[in-house]
Amino acid sequence: MEISGKTVLITGATGGMGRAFCRALGEVGAAIAMLDVDENSLRDFAEELTASGIKTAFASCDIRDAAACQIAIEQLAAHFGGIDILMNNAGITHRSLFSETQIEVLEKVMAVNYFGAVNCTKAALPYLRQSKGTIVVTSSIAGFTPLLGRTGYSASKYALHGFFESLRTELIDDGVKILLVCPGFTATGIENRALSGDGSITKRQWSTTGKIHQPADVANAIINGIRKEKRLLVLSTVGKLAYWIGRLFPKFYEREMRKKLRHEFFPP
């Protein structure tokens, strides 16, 4: 798919990854429709993009609310005359052992990461069918391999894979493409806002493995993936290794992953 002249709807538009998507897609000629819960940040960022010559409109919306998603996306589609690409980017995480995590925290992670994407896809689907467009889903390595202390986050990403891989089979005849993206560790700030087991922002230190990617590099890789109509992008070397090792040697993967992450939760 050629992106210039297309309308791209991006959720979580004012976060670290969302901003990179908006800038990168705008720079290659796309019109940017932004969704986020923070209206003030949306307004300020829209002014910045407009000053750069990027066509932009926005709507404030809590993507956990299906009715609100319907209204906001209808407004943005009416403004631009349709939607060609939907980027389900909004997401949150937690770092807490399941036994220490309130059910409400798990519900919140699922509501944003999974049902938020489902709600936006449901509302945007008529326009995507009309344009034979593309749905992009920001997933994670946690969507295909387990991660210690992130049961709710991993569950939400596994759910995204199951939902969108199944939806892909329903939309083949409509010409709608679906791209699942697993970026690896990226400097977006999401981990600095991770929830603890009681729902507050956690003070636990977090671990990374391999290179920390920059949001702009991830955005450019996704643009290439959209153009080439890819189905899955695993963007980090660590992610690619985890994908295969987790399938071929699951016990080995679990042992090595625990070695890397256990200090976050268990004293030496």
Could you list the active site residues? 153
Residue 16: both structure tokens together: 């670290």
Burial letters 125-144, b for 16+ CB under 10 A, else e = bebbeebebbbbbbbbbbbb
- The CA distances from residue 95 to 118, 211, 251, in Å, are 24, 20, 22
Instruction: For residue 138, report the phi and psi dihedrals to the nearest 5 degrees.
Output: -80, 105
Sequence-distant (≥ 6) Cβ neighbours of residue 142 within 8 angstroms: 150, 153, 154, 157, 158
How many residues would you count in the chain?
Answer: 268
Q: How far apart are CA 172 and CA 52, in angstroms?
A: 36
